[in-house]
Amino acid sequence: MGFMAAAPRGDFMPAQPARGPLPADFPAAVFELMSHSPRRRPDGRLILLLGALAACGPIATDMYLPSLPAIAQSFGVTAAAAAATLTSFMAGFSIGMLLYGPMSDAYGRRPVLLGGIALFTIASIACWLSWSVGELAIVRFLQALGAGAASVLARAIARDAHEPSDAAKVLSMVAIVTSIGPLLAPLIGGQLLLLGGWRIVFVALTLFGLACGAAAWLRVPETWPAEKRESAAVLRSFAAYGRLLRDPLVWGHMLCGGMAFAAMFTYISATPFVYIEYFHVSPQHYGLFFGMNVFGIMLGNLLNTRFIGRLGTLKMVSMASTVSFVASLFVALVCVTGWGGLWSIVFGLFFVVSVVGLLGANCATDLMYRYPKNAGAAAAVFGAAQLGLGAFASAVVGWFPGVSPFGMGCTIGTCGLLTWLGRRIVVKWHGHPAPGAAAAAPNT
């Protein structure tokens, strides 16, 4: 893996002043915390490493998607029962993120990250050895519980280690790197299915977990210093969730970014059956269709890195959620009516999926800088909302009988409507102060 050649721990660029103006919607209150926290310029090696670590969850999800029909056949269960292993993964991922955010605020990023990767690796071995679909669902939950550490802490570490003017750009670049894994994962999973059946997929995930653990042990620095942890006892860190959940803007971001993610996860959980069984796409070619949408995510994040400094997070969230809303309704229309067949669905899904990473980067950045002393908890509550809504959407689409596109279209259309509702809340409350804050962030 290319990131293994990175510099030793702590060998990053020295702190430098920001090279350009801050986004127009950056909260002035953050400057007080910044004065006690040395930041670095964006460092390509750190970005590559964080992106690779954050890919643990997406790769564990996407690599086994082509195997879902084979898992159902192997255990003699329905498609919905096989898809429940995906739902349990997302539930575990969501719960893990809620645990790891406050824990990292209290104990530091590095030990929590390493513990989560260890759990991911051990659970991957258990998935490989599972002998019933129920057992597989349980150990997939534990696998996801570990993978959540890498996802939430990659965001928090990127926020800790970089200037505020660079944070949204860095998160988008991390998302681009992270997207490479899901781009290749279903292609690799389809080929592994030919080589040795669905169990060999979890052998590959075990090896990936070991590689990530070694890289994190050798290269990831501690970015949350001990002096900041003194006032962040773990119970107090968990109590920060109460303050976050009293903030309408938090709910707006969770709904906007979370329902866009739920639309994408509906696509992830439904298309193995819609594409492979309904439209008779081969498992190997399914990876190519999947890769097109991952390329769209990469493109959306690349556009975000170019325009975030000029437009600010609010405008980027507003534009991306509008694209998600229109594209989701289009997908719902073609799935319900059958107009245009497979290629119309593929076309609409490209735009639904492409803006998910952009929305996630900007919604998470806005929340972390709104709550600078609880950045881990803010990243966790947003990530948990994304994963929880994704798991729920996966369960909903599984309630529809058969493998036709109808259920997928209805679910994605509903997600698009709720994404638009979240956008309205974000726009309304963006200029208001956080609960207990003395001043509001300026609206853009």
CATH code, 387: 1.20.1250.20
- Reported as a pLDDT band with limits 50, 70 and 90, residue 162 is low
Q: Which domain holds residue 217?
A: 46-221+234-429
- Please, what is the angle between helix 248-273 and helix 406-429, to 10°? 160
Evaluate whether residue 264 is within a structural domain: yes
Q: What is the mean pLDDT of residues 70-87?
A: 87
What span, in angstroms and rounded, lies between the C-alpha atoms of 351 and 2?
30
Q: Which residue has the higher pLDDT, 33 or 344?
A: 344
To the nearest 10°, report the CA torsion of 34, 37, 42, 47.
Answer: -120
Residue 12 has pLDDT above 60, yes or no: no
Write down the pLDDT at residue 398. Answer: 80
Q: What is the mean pLDDT of residues 151-161?
A: 76
Q: Which residue has the higher pLDDT, 438 or 356?
A: 356
What percent of the chain has a predicted confidence (pLDDT) above 90? 29
What span, in angstroms and rounded, lies between the C-alpha atoms of 333 and 161?
44
Lowest mean pLDDT among 1-15, 105-119, 155-169, 389-403: 1-15
Residue 180 has pLDDT above 50, yes or no: yes
- Structural domains counted in the chain: 1
Evaluate whether residue 229 is within a structural domain: no
Lowest mean pLDDT among 51-65, 104-118, 154-168, 226-240: 226-240
Which residue in 370, 389, 369 sits closest to 437, CA to CA?
A: 370
3-state secondary structure of 162: strand
Evaluate whether residue 240 is within a structural domain: yes
Which residue in 364, 420, 413, 362 sits closest to 387, CA to CA?
A: 364
Evaluate whether residue 262 is within a structural domain: yes
What span, in angstroms and rounded, lies between the C-alpha atoms of 386 and 14?
34
Q: Is the dihedral of CA 320, 378, 174, 189 positive or negative?
A: negative
Q: What is the mean pLDDT of residues 396-402?
A: 84
pTM, 2 dp: 0.67
Evaluate whether residue 36 is within a structural domain: no
Lowest mean pLDDT among 13-17, 221-225, 232-236, 405-409: 13-17
What span, in angstroms and rounded, lies between the C-alpha atoms of 71 and 396?
20
Ramachandran angles phi, psi of 306, nearest 5°:
-80, -35
* Helices and strands in the chain: count of H runs, count of E runs: 17, 0
Residue 26 has pLDDT above 70, yes or no: no
Evaluate whether residue 165 is within a structural domain: yes
Write down the pLDDT at residue 395. Answer: 82
